[in-house]
Structure 1
Amino acid sequence: MKRAKLMSGVLAAALMMGGAAAYAEGKMGHGMHGPRPMMNFEEIDANADGKITKEEIAAIGATQFGKADADGDGFLSLEEMNARGLEMAKARIEARSAKMLERMDADKDGKLSMDEMQAMKDKGPRGKMMDRMFDRADADDDGAISQDEFDAAQARMQERMQDGKGVHKGWHKKDRGNCDGSGKANQ
């Protein structure tokens, strides 16, 4: 039983550490909750026999652990974990920024102007989302958000976030005042 738990832990660590390497190398897939690292079969299959063994997974985990263990003492300190995390975050940010530049740089000059960013925002999903959020907060439909409307929108957002279940609790104008907190509009 202890061996099974140990191997499960090693497997999880190897997959996590291998995933970190995938982040750093820009090998990303898309999971249910956004971008996720993609494992590279050939890298894990060290002897190139077309199969991945538990030993190969453990070896990948050990390699990734070694990369994080900057002082080579066989332990990961908080500082080493933070440093490795920052390296991985930096690699993700650099990859995302490069993709954003590639997607939004209309004149292909290697830089984004305010006009290029605004044009992408206006036609992209985030721009539409921001417009919907503005419209929801503008309770009296006058094209502006007053302090009272802002405070009410903040309160609704806070309540929704505290729910933790993503349950609809009257965020939309059409549902205000007729939502019983169960996530369903009253009939």
Structure 2
Amino acid sequence: MKKAAFIAVIVGTASIIAAGSVLAKGGPDGPGGPGMRMSFEEIDTDGNGEISQAEMDAMKGARFAKTDTNGDGVVSLEELTAQGVKNVAARAEKMLKMRDANGDGVLSQEELSKPRRAGQMFDRFDADGNGSISKEEFEEAGKHMRQRGKGHHRPGQQPDAETEQN
């Protein structure tokens, strides 16, 4: 039972972090919106092989306009929430397609509880490698998840150590 509760906490934490990153990025996989990442070529609208500040600003403006559904130049809580719901729904649909091993359109507990890198996640949380996760390790891993992408090292890893690519 403790294992199921632990998995539920991990899945819940990951869901909250994913939802936050979805809103921050403008879509589940990047600024292009649900299910797609914008390529360099899409941002480089003049095709000169370089992305200018103006092109970045145009991309941000287009993303803002997509969220500002009534076109009043500001994004309300309702508009932001509606965009977030669309993005989370698209991510959930993608997750269902990726994990639905038997193709029945639903996820069993077995299909859901075998996330990619599940063992790696436990190993990263278990910084001292003793086979269990202490409260301190759990809190450090949560801190790392919140700081991910800001140049911080993984729990249990020295700041100057080489990082592996996942």
Structure with bigger gyration radius: 1
Structure with the bigger RCO (C-alpha within 8 Å, sep 6+) is 2
Q: Which has the higher helix share?
A: 1
Q: Which has the higher strand share?
A: 1
